[in-house]
Structure 1
Amino acid sequence: MPHHDGETGHESPPDQDARIGDDDDLARRPALSDAPEQEVRRRHVLYIPGYDPRDPGLYRRFAAFELRRFARLWGAKVDVDDKHVEDPAIPSVRWTARATAGDAKVEVGYETLRWDDIVARDFSTPLPLKLLAGFVTLFDALFSGLLFRVARAAPWCAIAWLFPVAVILFWTLLGVGLGYGVWRVAEAYGQGFAGVLAWIALLVGTPLAALAVMRKRGSFVVHLMDDGGAQRSYARRLDPLTEARIDAFASRIRAIKAAAQVQELLIVGHSSGSFMAIDAVARALEAEPELGNGDRPAIALLTVGASELLVGMHPAAGWFRERLKRVAMDHGVFWAEVVAPWDTLNFPHRSPVEELKLDVPADCPNPTFRRAFLTKMLKAESIAKLRRERNIFRAHFQFIMANEVRGPFDYFSLVCSPWRTKTQFRRTAKGAYMSPHLGAPVYPAPKEPVAA
């Protein structure tokens, strides 16, 4: 079965398979290596973002800012290229960073695989078609049983999925009420037919007007509506452009492997990028079954804030479940999935292999499944601010942002690490922090009481 090496924090519930950082065991843990050698001097990161229409150049600026915060936390030095290189053939945007932490020096090629044009296309759909597509997605989720499976696996994720439905339903009912009132007045003046027309106009126009206002203000209600439709399309394989894009991503994975110019290739899928990353790796493995063999480069897959179950649970997505199973069973690819109970847009309870009840052998190597906790990532005041603002997207992005405190999951410690990703997760399974420094693992301080 998939690995459950423990949680990336101390606040894990007592019924989990393993805990890290037990206070009475700190002094007895041996170092993983008495004479550590740097495993990675050059790493290539392929980052697949979530459902986001923004220019991927933004991600370079965002990462540069977060890397500076990361460097201050760990006493490291990071230099980031001022410019990025666009490759329309893939398409992608890439840039380079150089990290120094003590004796460790790592060069990182960071490449964002683009699908923002596909998201922008969805965002630009005329509002009447968008509203119709929203109802089609809702009926599909209900009659296929997808929504009930999601609710059983992650209730808060189902609530987030249903939130746009509730908002549109509110405006639709308001239109019904207003239309009824206008019809009654018109009928009293002998204009019943005109009243019916006005009723229909308000029934349709009220939710459309509300959607127009919300879209103009950048409301996440419209964002979530489009995202749900895109997930349905992905599960049913309805979009040839998306299919071709994943094939291009898979080809890029194979090309970097064939070039053998780095010690590790790390493929990162965040949010909706999680199922695209899994799919791309599976397609690369289908084309080249021996892809993960050999040491140069080692191949690692990291899915964070993962939502692949929104596709995998759909009855029409048997093809995707087979691909997920292929990645899970491949011993040449290390796959880690990091989720969190504080993120309403992921599935924090069980690994995708378990949740989908896939038939895998007992020695199935993937994924290593971890939970991250805010108290091991952010300071108390930042956590309080997140709770006050209830900004679900800001919380969702914490997976790919710098920590404020040293902890067992640190995204940029993985990106800049002199250790392979597999080694970093093995270190934290023994109770250590992720760290960009060479040397023996640094273990967490004794656990302090934490608020909920």
Structure 2
Amino acid sequence: MAGADDSVGRRRVFYIPGYDPFHPRRYRELYRREGAEQARISGYSLRLSPGQRPERYGWTVAFEGDGGASAAEVEVLVWSDLVAASMGRSIASTYWQLLRTVWVYVASGAILRLLRLRKGPAIAALYPIGVLIGQAGLAAAAGLAMLALVRAGGAALWPGAPAAALAALGLGLGAGAGLALLRWFRRHDNRVFAWYLMHDFAFTASAGGAVPKPLRPRLRAFADRIAEALGEDWDEVLVVGHSSGAHLAVTVLADLIRRGEVRARRPALGFLSLGQVVPMVSFLPGGEELRHDLAFLSQREELTWIDVTAPGDGCAYALCDPVAVSGVAPAAKRWPLVVSAAFTQTLSPERRRALRWRFFRLHFQYLCAFDRPGDYDYFRITAGPITLAARYRGRVPSQSRIERAVTRFGTAG
């Protein structure tokens, strides 16, 4: 039973997205659409209205159900501009990123360890490499075909032309054909996501696992924003990190606690990590800061950390304890509580069939409605009348979680 300290009348939610170049309004629309569906299925009321802070991107939510009423102010902590800037590269620089990223993961041995942990995300990492190499091969074939065409037909169209001139013309047209094909592939990447994923993994590996330099000031700003809320009259401050946003949240929260920004009682501090890909960073040599933050956060009494993944999500390190597998679990480890969203149980067979090959949509399922909901409900957690700690009090971790240390780096010290 929830006590007085477990109830929430007013909640502040900070959402940290993953590597996403799109405007954060997509998260408001996703919340609006999927929240209405979940409310219909689960029998509660959820009403959205515009945010109260024009200078920040967010919305407010009114919840009625579960024996109470509550309100939440949701804010997206935006770094999509940094993502868009990192993706705005030439074709040549993208292929250079490919080579450099492959070198970082292969030379460090990280890719072999990641494959030992969960094959799905590692395959997702190899996928854009294979696709981009294949596209380069097709572009080269198109260029060679154009060169052969010019050589074959050039003499007839240009009698007495020097062989060198025909060769130069053929090479120029061939290079143009190959480049045009690569540009076509990039322009239509919204269907295959190979270029997008390549930029994602390249950004992660750009500093060898450390926080990329352009992102550091933004994370400090995120910490300041959350610290401001922790000093206000809220019942709970909830930080949600999705995908690569999960390891960014780890760094932000560790910084907040070290700064002494978290009060002993109210507001309660909750951390919900969803579909995390922490090992993609913590397994790299430069991920020492993240490994230290993981070990630090895992021992803290100032927060409640729930980690939710699902084996049906091939883009996440499902049920992998991010602290333990990174080799930094201390003796006094408290967090995270690793639980499964259990797609095979919480989504009907019909719904699973509809989503079967929509890998990115499945990676976002944590933010969506379940037609056979279990104890994980994103909208109850972010807008409902009890704290994250109360909701999962007494919950045992998933029995199929992975806790063995796989990385060769670091200890909890």
Confirm or deny a common fold (TM above 0.5): yes
Distance 1:110 1:345, change over 3 A: same
1:283 aligns with 2:255: yes
* TM-score scaled by length of structure 2: 0.85
In the alignment, what sits opposite 1:385?
Answer: 354
Find the partner of 2:59 among 92, 95, 105: 95
Distance 1:212 1:359 in 2: 47
Question: Are positions 1:411 and 2:378 aligned together?
Answer: yes
- Residues in 1 aligned to 2:174 and 2:107: alpha-carbon distance in whole angstroms: 29
> Contact 2:314 / 2:359 at 8 angstroms: preserved in 1?
yes
Give per-residue Cα distances to partners, 1:299-355, cap 9 Å, x unaligned: 111110101211111111111111121111212111111111111111114201111
**Farther-moved stretch of structure 1 (414-423 vs 337-346):** 414-423
Q: Residues 67 and 183 (structure 1 numbering): CA distance in 2 closer, same or farther, change over 3 Å?
A: closer
Distance 1:152 1:86, change over 3 A: farther
> Structure 1 residue 269: deviation in Å?
0.3
Give 1:278's aligned amino acid: V
Aligned to 1:67: 35
Counterparts of 1:255-270 in structure 2, within 5 Å, are: 255-259=228-232, 261-270=233-242
Contact 1:215 1:222 in 2 (8 A): no
Distance in 2 of aligned mates of 1:348 and 1:280: 22
Taking the aligned partners of 2:185 and 2:216, their CA distance within structure 1 comes to 32
1:370 pairs, out of 339, 346, 369, with 339
Confirm or deny: 8 A CA contact 1:157 1:344 kept in the other structure.
yes
Out of 195, 203, 216, the position equivalent to 1:230 is 203
Q: Which residue of 1 aligns with 2:368?
A: 401
Q: Deviations over 1:85-143 (max 9, x none)?
A: 442xxxx4122111010530111111110001111112322222222222221222211
TM-score (norm 1): 0.78
- Deviation per CA, 1:23-66, whole angstroms, max 9, x where unpaired? xxxxxxxxx46x88862111111000111111112211221222
Which residue in 2 is equivalent to 1:322? 292
Q: Give the direction of change, closer, same or farther, for the CA distance of 1:187–1:274 in structure 2 (3 Å limit).
A: same
Q: Using a 3 Å threshold, how does the CA distance of structure 1 residues 200 and 293 change in structure 2: closer, same or farther?
A: farther
Q: Compared with structure 1, are the counterparts of its residues 73 and 144 closer, same or farther at alpha carbon in structure 2 (3 Å cutoff)?
A: same
Local SS of the residue matching 1:402: coil
User: For the residues of structure 2 that align with 1:271 and 1:117, how far apart are their CA atoms?
Assistant: 17
1:313 equivalent to 2:283? Answer: yes
Q: Specify every segment of 5 or more residues in structure 1 that has no aligned partner in the other structure, as ranges.
A: 1-31, 432-452
Supply the distance in 1 between the matched residues of 2:397 and 2:150 (Cα, whole angstroms): 74
Which amino acid in structure 2 is aligned with residue 372 of structure 1?
A
Q: Partners in 2 of 1:107 and 1:69 — Cα distance? A: 19
Aligned twin of 2:107: 143
Partner residue of 2:8? 40
Distance 1:278 1:203, change over 3 A: farther
8 A contact 1:304–1:339 mirrored in 2: yes
**Which residue is equivalent to 2:264?**
294
The Cα of 1:170 is off from its aligned counterpart by 1.3
Q: How does 1:48-67 map to 2 (within 5 A)?
A: 48-67=16-35
Question: Structure 1 residues 403-412 or 212-221, which shifts more?
Answer: 212-221
1:280 CA displacement: 0.8
1:7-22 to 2 correspondence within 5 Å? none
Q: 3-state SS of the aligned residue for 2:370?
A: coil
CA contact (8 A) 1:235 1:312 kept: no
Q: Which amino acid aligns with 1:124?
A: G
Unaligned runs of 5+ in 2: 156-161, 399-413
Change (3 A) 1:417 1:247: same
Alpha-carbon distance between aligned partners in 2 of 1:117 and 1:197, rounded to the nearest angstrom: 41
Change in Cα spacing, 1:234 to 1:116, as seen in structure 2 (3 Å) is: farther
Q: Secondary structure at the match of 2:287?
A: helix
Q: Classify 1:250/1:151 alpha carbon distance in 2 versus 1 (closer, same or farther; 3 Å).
A: same
Q: Secondary structure at the match of 2:361?
A: helix
Distance 1:403 1:349 in 2: 19
Instruction: Give the Cα separation in 2 of the matches to 1:38 and 1:69.
Output: 26
Conservation of the 8 A alpha-carbon contact between 1:211 and 1:222:
no
Shift of 1:172: 2.3
Task: Return the structure number with greater relative CO, CA threshold 8 A, min gap 6.
Answer: 1
Residue 14 of structure 1 is matched in structure 2 by: none
1:17 aligns with: none
User: Contact conserved, 1:263 with 1:295, CA < 8 A, in 2?
Assistant: no
Give the one of 220, 227, 250 matched to 1:247.
220
Count residues with an aligned counterpart: 389
Instruction: Tell me how far apart the structure 1 counterparts of residues 241 and 364 of structure 2 sit (CA, whole Å).
Output: 12
Q: 1:158 corresponds to which letter in structure 2?
A: A
Separation in 2, partners of 1:131, 1:266: 39
Structure-1 separation of matches of 2:183 and 2:330: 45
For the residue of structure 1 that corresponds to 2:69, the secondary structure is strand
Q: What SS does the corresponding residue of 1:383 show, helix, strand or coil?
A: helix
Counterpart amino acid of residue 375 in structure 1: T
Across the aligned residues of Structure 1 and Structure 2, the Cα RMSD in angstroms comes to 2.7
Aligned counterparts of 1:323 and 1:208: Cα–Cα separation in 2: 45
User: Structure 1's 83 and 314: CA in aligned 2 closer, same or farther, altered over 3 A?
Assistant: same
Q: Confirm or deny that 1:304 pairs with 2:274.
A: yes
Cα distance change on mapping 1:100 and 1:142 into 2, 3 Å: same
The change in CA–CA distance for 1:286 and 1:144 in structure 2 (over 3 A counts) is same
Contact 1:171-1:207 at 8 Å conserved across structures: no
Distance of aligned partners of 1:281 and 1:212 in 2 relative to their CA distance in 1, 3 Å threshold? farther
- For the 8 Å contact 2:235–2:266, the answer to whether it is kept is yes
Q: Measured at CA, do residues 370 and 102 of structure 1 come closer, stay the same or move farther in structure 2, by a change above 3 Å?
A: closer
